[in-house]
Structure 1
Amino acid sequence: MSASEHDSTSKFAVSTPLGSEETLRAQPHPDGSFPLVLILGATGYIGGRLVPRLLAGGYRVRVLSRSSGRIQALPWADDVETVEGDAADPEAMDLAMRDVDIVYYLVHSMTSGHDYGKLDRAIAINVALRAAEQQVGRIIYLGGLHPDGVELSPHLASRKEVGDILLASATPTIVLQAGVVIGAGSASFEMIRHLTEVLPYMPAPKWVRNYIQPIAVRDVVYYLLGAARSEPGANGTYDIGGPDVFRYSKMMNGYAYVAGLPRRHIAALPVLTPGLASHWVGLVTPVPRQIARPLVESLVHTCVVKDDAIDGLVPPPPGGLTGYLEAVRWALGRMEIDQVETSWVDARVADAPSDPMPSDPDWAGRTVFQDERTRATTADSTSVWKVISQIGGATGWYSASVLWASRGLIDRLSGGIGSQRGRRGYDGLRVGDAIDVWRVEHVEPGRLVRLRAEMRVPGSAWLELSVDPTDEGSDYRQRAVFFPRGLTGRLYWLSMLPFHGLIFSGMVNRIVAEAETDVED
């Protein structure tokens, strides 16, 4: 992508600005061209959120990836230049760094195996040498916040070693050191999320008493963008963190507060070693053990910002740093919408860095239970939609009437609305309509309706019914989605599984049968 082809008014303008225009936009060269940035780790958690904001800021972006196919699956693939290769390969790195102004070093090798420190060292040395040979203007590295003068965990020791190698190179380097990053998809945040949601009582290692200074992912991205505009020749290490400092246990209860969960009781046990704790985390959370163990081992250290030197390099965000509770709200706020509509793996660029991204791993995000069924039918889509649009009220739910009535009675007895509301009428579905214990949340006439449950359940529930035309007739699709709240929500879903088998299979069969009968008549 040449400078002449580059449009500084990028289509990746985001609706949630992270800071001032002056701090975050690219500063053009004297000849009018915009800086070329190389991202190492573009498909990772931070990289996937940084790339669209660099594009929005006017930068030309090049990415290095071992698989160009992974890049092509992302929404900004056509707006970046992709070089296929490995960061440890000198030839690939020479090609990737040609004419580059800034290198963002965002790769880590925790998932590569036991010797990830050795691999990280080799990559850092290769990057340092190639950057000097190609006369790169600056390297920006995101490392880990750590205390001084103590023996570090293997993970933090490796992160520090990479920073030291880059700082000692011939290329000016800015090392930003962050602690626990708060945002949907961050491995550290996902550990907090799942531990807190699943366990009302948690035996934990004594490191839950250590002090931590978390930082919102939006602030991490802000500092990474700001570092690109800092004074030429800057070379040093800068701690970055949010405004809150507290114990790890308090951080978990802060999550519980925002998520609407009861306070978690956490007991610090001196006998629970980091190794044992990582096994336990692996059982309770979906975070892979090869990622969980290094992170758990790193929690034995108190990690807080040592000084405010970063303020001299990058001014604080105009609105101030994001507090922990607000960061958790950002992480949870958009997720229900995204996961219900598409399960978030789509061609959408996140409006905020805390939003889910298509490049996030499968284990990231809220726990979601689904019952999904599809049935091909010879009935056309109009006939199927006619049946769907009459659901509820006097028509009923096309299956297991006794079970639906029993569920409504239980809801009534527990203080809920029960199932006595019926529906307004049968001349169509409108957003906001009440249908028994459901509320119409979204309608695409002739194709889809999504209902949000208003019954008392330990979580949030939706029922989505849709139909798509085919050459032979149509495909009917039915999806029940449940976001459990805490351990009670998970147990509720499991207890309902036998009934779901009767209710939802019956609905599919009856709706399709009614539509086919209508066609015959």
Structure 2
Amino acid sequence: MSSKELFAVVTIAVAGATGYIGGRLVPLLLASGADVRVLSRRRDKLRDVPWRSQVEILEGSMEDADTAAALCRGADIVYYLVHSMSGGTGAAWDFERVERRCALNLARASRDAGTTRLIYLSGLHPQGRLSRHLASRTEVGEILLASGTPTAVLQAGLVIGSGSASFEMVRHLTDVLPVMPAPKWVMNSIQPIAIRDALHYLVGAAQLPAGLNRTFDIGGPEVLSYAEMMRSYADAAGFRRPLVIPLPVLTPWLAAQWVNLVTPVPRSLAVPLVESLQHDCVARERDIAAYIPEPDGGLTTYGRAVELALHKIAADTVETTWATAHALSAPAEPLPSDPDWAGLTVFTDERTKTTPAPASQVWAVVEGIGGANGYYSLPFAWAVRGWLDKVAGGVGLARGRRSHQHLQLNDAVDWWRVETLEQGRLLRLRAEMIVPGRAWLEFEVTPAEPEDGGAGGSVFRQRAIFFPRGLTGRLYWLAVLPFHGIIFKDMANRITAAASRRP
């Protein structure tokens, strides 16, 4: 029986649908024909996902026994993708107790509801003493295996994809630090798995033989050290390989503080993740292959998984949204339910001005920007920056523009290129100057709503966007930030003022 034929007659519940794994699993289950019920602590976290109208949504916490019962009621299969590491702060945060209670609630609810299969994603771990994070994951798996409901516990290593906390640690550490002091266990063995492969096994687990109750180790085709992962990431991202210097004096706690300082991964996640890296995390068996065949083309190598995770960035996309997407075609890419700290670092300077001038007059000023008209703020500073760019081998400001008043898509405007043009509303310029990263300057003009200042006026929005490249890019942004505070504020004020003076 094919997955579509099987899933067409089952109801699947997913706890943790707003998490990194759950947000990517749900559309795959829907595409296979299943009726899907999802649980989220906050319903509004699912506001922008494209499949929101196709699922039944429960709001609540697995800490509540009634919520667990509602999740399992009528469900043939329940995916349990919940963790509580980020639910609190401080060393006193007892996430083990919370996870134990949630697991016991699920065990009881699934047994009472007659659920035929539980599927839980845990972590690869060695024998012996474990970190708090891995020990808690292991305990949850043991509770579910003892529940009386047939359970498949898939034990995965670091999951590689944009938005995964493990991958974001690799990404930001490598992007920022050309020389990296690290704990000695940065040389421990790790078996990462691409997000697409983890999803492949999760979907396949729904078709495991009835009554099968056990753990399965899952991992990618390579065993690497964390240092090798960072070097391979640098190769895929086009950076120079970092120099990793293992230091025996860095305790897990100190290393976690360092990760929290250098990366956007919150401390509540950084601490347990870093503690877990003290151990080798390698699959000890490959029994899953007897039940679920490998994906077409085989398991994804780490280097390929990184390339897939970086795909959106390589496409020069300034803003991406899944709100208009019809299906999840690339699970390594960002989702609107991913945490705010996930993805490539981006710096912005945003200005909004309301003006009594009609939108058409503001747009006329915007469309005439650059060339002889200049940029409406500190012309000497723009001239100096253009001269420096020219000396460095860039295009400078000498190109000017084709027309003083009108623009077309792909027109050159000094050191900019017209990337997006929606006449009367939106202009996005992509920088072609020499800069350690990628930059855009965006202008939007919309008629003012009554609450914005009355009929006849308009709202002008201006946004500078910068994706830094490595440490140099971040230092560049910090160096020019004081000037941006003057230049971009003055630009927004003078553009709206010029619009008001137009006949």
TM-score between the two structures when normalised by the length of structure 2: 0.93
Judge which range, 383-392 or 457-466, deviates more.
383-392
The yes-or-no answer on 1:212 pairing with 2:190 is yes
1:91-146 deviation line (CA, Å, top 9, x unaligned): 22222211111000100111234321122122212211221121101111100011
The answer to whether the aligner puts 1:165 opposite 2:143 as a matched pair is: yes
- Contact kept? 1:245, 1:304, Cα under 8 Å: yes
The separation in 1 between residues aligned to 2:390 and 2:434, in whole angstroms, is 9
Q: Which residue of 2 aligns with 1:18?
A: none
Identify the residue that residue 429 of structure 1 maps to in structure 2: 407
In structure 2, relative to structure 1, the CA distance for the partners of 1:497 and 1:67 (3 Å cut) is closer
Matches within 5 A, 1:34-433: 34-72=9-47, 74-113=49-88, 114-147=93-126, 149-335=127-313, 340-341=318-319, 344=321, 348=325, 350-426=328-404, 428-433=406-411
Q: CA RMSD in A?
A: 2.0
Q: Which one of 459, 467, 491 corresponds to residue 507 of structure 1?
A: 491
User: Structure 2: which amino acid aligns with 1:421?
Assistant: R
Aligned: 1:466 with 2:444: yes
Distance (whole Å) between structure 2 residues aligned to residue 428 and residue 37 of structure 1? 55
Query: Is 2:28–2:328's contact at 8 Å kept on the other side of the alignment?
Result: no
More displaced stretch, 290-299 vs 211-220? 211-220
1:219 maps to amino acid: D
State the shift of 1:506 in Å: 2.3
In 2, are the aligned partners of 1:350 and 1:357 still within 8 Å (CA)?
no
Counterparts of 1:115 and 1:137, CA distance in 2 = 31
Runs of 5+ in structure 2 lacking a partner?
Answer: 449-454
SS in 1 for 2:444: strand
CA apart distance, 1:427: 5.6
Is the 2:347–2:467 contact (alpha carbons within 8 Å) kept by the matching residues of 1? yes
Match of 1:482 among 461, 466, 475: 466
Moved more, 216-225 or 110-119: 110-119
Give, in whole Å, the separation in 2 of the partners of 1:70 and 1:373.
27
Q: CA deviation at 1:217?
A: 1.1
Which residue of structure 2 aligns with residue 13 of structure 1?
A: none
Distance in 2 between the 1:112 and 1:156 partners?
16
Please give the per-residue CA displacement for 1:410-440, whole angstroms capped at 9, x wherever unaligned.
Answer: 1111122222222222463222221111111
- Aligned partners of 1:72 and 1:384: how far apart in 2? 33
- CA gap 1:426/1:480 in 2 versus in 1, 3 angstroms: same
Query: What's the offset of the Cα at 1:47?
Result: 0.8
Q: Distance in 2 between matches of 1:255 and 1:415?
A: 29
Aligned counterparts of 2:328 and 2:487: Cα–Cα separation in 1: 36
Structure 1: tracts of 5 or more residues without a match: 1-21
Q: Which amino acid aligns with 1:224?
A: L
Taking the aligned partners of 2:26 and 2:37, their CA distance within structure 1 comes to: 9
Equivalences, count? 492
Q: Which amino acid in structure 1 is aligned with residue 481 of structure 2?
A: L
SS at match of 1:202: strand
SS at match of 2:270: helix
Equivalent position to 1:457, from 424, 435, 441? 435
- Does structure 2 conserve the Cα–Cα contact (< 8 Å) formed by 1:196 and 1:252? yes
Structure 1: distance between partners of 2:270 and 2:478: 26
Q: Which moved more, 1:439-448 or 1:421-430?
A: 421-430
Cα deviation, residue 346, structure 1? 5.2
**CA distance in 1 between partners of 2:315 and 2:334 (Å):** 11
Q: Is the 8 A contact 2:180 2:243 kept in 1?
A: yes
Post-superposition offset of 1:510: 2.1
SS for the counterpart of 2:38 is strand
Residue 178 of structure 1 deviates from its aligned partner by 0.9
- Is the Cα contact below 8 Å between 1:63 and 1:82 reproduced in 2? yes
> Identity across aligned pairs (percent)?
56
User: Contact 2:69–2:106 at 8 Å: present in 1 too?
Assistant: no
Inter-partner Cα distance in structure 1 for 2:303 and 2:280: 20
8 Å contact from structure 2 (residues 429, 442) kept in 1: yes
Indicate conservation of the 8 Å contact 1:39/1:106, yes or no. yes
Distance in structure 2 (CA, Å) of the matches to 1:171 and 1:491: 55
**Distance between the aligned counterparts of 1:59 and 1:350, measured in 2?**
16
Please give the TM-score of this superposition, normalised by the length of structure 1.
0.90
CA contact (8 A) 1:431 1:440 kept: yes
Q: Following TM superposition, by how much is the alpha carbon of 1:350 offset from its aligned partner in structure 2, in angstroms?
A: 4.8
Distance 1:373 1:351 in 2: 34
| Aligned pair partner of 2:482 in 480, 489, 498 | 498
